[in-house]
Amino acid sequence: MAVWNNPTVQNVGGRARSTLNDFQKFILRGNVVDLAVGIMIGAAFSGVVNALVGDIITPLIPASKNGLSALAYKVPYTGGTLQVGAFINALIAFLILALVIYFFVVKPVNALMALHKPKAAEAPTTRDCPYCLSTIPLRATRCAYCTAQLPPADQIPPAAAQRT
């Protein structure tokens, strides 16, 4: 009977439900699901590219009579085998995957980001004359309207300059 009064045993079901609810919220967040889908599609696409390279592209390369994947060399001192053809297959598959990812993922995402990125503020080209408040070119040393002598443009605070 003293076990039920123990604070670690009390409300264990509520704490377990709370933990499971938190886990459910974590799993159902958009970025976790998107990541899982991306990994699965990437693995499937990688299998397709490996089959394309191994079964279609490398047999066309006249490296040996059995195809490129059979290209191997015996190492005389260790007795091991250098699988040169398998390495070339993997290299070609990697290049194809990299090209597809670059042209079908990176380039379109960069183009979309460029459309939605705010334009950088252009440098001001004019300023106001402090005497007559007329708009004059930024590098002017004398006001065209009131002929007042003006301080150099690099001594003007940025708030005084304006864009045209």
Give the pLDDT confidence of 40-63 residue by residue, as tens digits.
888 888 888 888 888 888 777 776
Q: What is the pLDDT of residue 163?
A: 45
Are 97 and 49 in contact, with CB atoms under 8 Å apart?
A: yes
The SS3 call for residue 132 is coil
The structure tokens listed for 22 are: 């938190």
Q: List residues bridging with 81 in a β-sheet.
A: 74
pLDDT score of 3 more than 60: no
pLDDT score of 72 more than 60: yes
CATH of region 13-116: 1.10.1200.120
pLDDT, greater one: 125 or 1: 125
How many Å apart are CA 28 and CA 25, to the nearest integer? 5
pLDDT, greater one: 64 or 89: 89
In the chain, residues under CATH classification 1.10.1200.120 are: 13-116
pLDDT score of 33 more than 80: no
| Mean pLDDT value across residues 3-16 | 67
How many Å apart are CA 26 and CA 37, to the nearest integer? 16
Q: What is the pLDDT of residue 2?
A: 54
Report the DSSP pairing between strands 161-162 and 126-128: antiparallel
In the numeric block, the tokens 């990176």 are attached to: 106
| Mean pLDDT value across residues 79-88 | 86
Mean pLDDT of the chain: 79
